[in-house]
């Protein structure tokens, strides 16, 4: 009698490889579709190690940095976005961050927003923390501090302000 001995992770590795191949095929198709309307600025990995397409829409007074997760096909709408304004020549102001949390999308978008600031020689990125953010305030503070923002919070009035300065 012979025994079949399996490597414990062989099936898992094959599934992971097949999933990555599917993401690459989706990514190729999605990039073509996205590039027709927006500027593709990069490819990155989410916390869950999915491939993501980073793209932007930039106008004179505002900019959106968006993500499409290649885990599923692009359906014409972003999976995550940072919406920002250019209120003056020295500052990008984050207006809103939209999308699911704890996937690493925010970190990816903030890194690309910083890169945009550097490319345009804009020294500051700012933003506000409002009362509607209060239920996840500690997570926001951790997130911004992790990305080298200064965070000022007025706990009594329930508002705050964030600032990032190039070179710090």
The CATH number linked to 106 is 3.40.630.30
Per-residue pLDDT of the chain (168 residues; tens, 9 = 90+): 444 444 554 566 777 788 878 878 888 999 999 999 999 999 999 998 888 999 999 999 999 999 999 888 899 999 999 999 999 999 999 999 999 999 999 999 999 999 999 999 999 999 999 988 899 999 999 999 999 999 999 999 999 999 999 987
Structure tokens at 143: 């997130």
- pTM here is 0.85
Residue 5 belongs to some domain of the structure: no
- Residue 17's pLDDT is what? 81
Residue 136 belongs to some domain of the structure: yes
- Residue 12's pLDDT is what? 63
CB-side exposure of 14: number of CA atoms within 13 Å?
4
Residue 140 belongs to some domain of the structure: yes
Question: How many domains are contained in the chain?
Answer: 1
**CA 163/CA 13 separation, integer angstroms:** 43
* Domain encompassing residue 143: 10-165
Do residues 85 and 93 lie in contact, with contact meaning Cβ atoms separated by under 8 Å?
yes
Residue 2 belongs to some domain of the structure: no
Residue 45 belongs to some domain of the structure: yes
């Amino acid at each position: 009698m012979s025994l079949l001995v399996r490597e414990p992770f062989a099936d898992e590795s094959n599934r992971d490889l097949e999933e990555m191949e599917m993401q690459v095929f989706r990514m190729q198709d999605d990039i073509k579709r996205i590039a027709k309307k927006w500027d593709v600025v990069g490819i990155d990995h989410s916390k869950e190690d999915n491939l993501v397409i980073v793209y932007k829409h930039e106008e004179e007074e505002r900019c959106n940095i968006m993500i499409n997760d290649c885990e599923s096909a692009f359906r014409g709408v972003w999976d995550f976005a940072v919406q920002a304004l250019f209120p003056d020549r020295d500052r990008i102001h984050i207006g809103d961050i939209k999308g699911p949390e704890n996937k690493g999308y925010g970190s990816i978008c903030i890194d690309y927003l910083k890169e945009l600031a550097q490319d345009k020689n804009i020294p500051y990125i700012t933003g506000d923390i409002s009362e509607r953010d209060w239920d996840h305030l500690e997570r926001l503070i951790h997130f911004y501090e992790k990305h080298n923002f200064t965070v000022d919070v007025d706990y009594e009035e329930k508002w705050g302000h964030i600032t990032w300065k190039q070179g710090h």
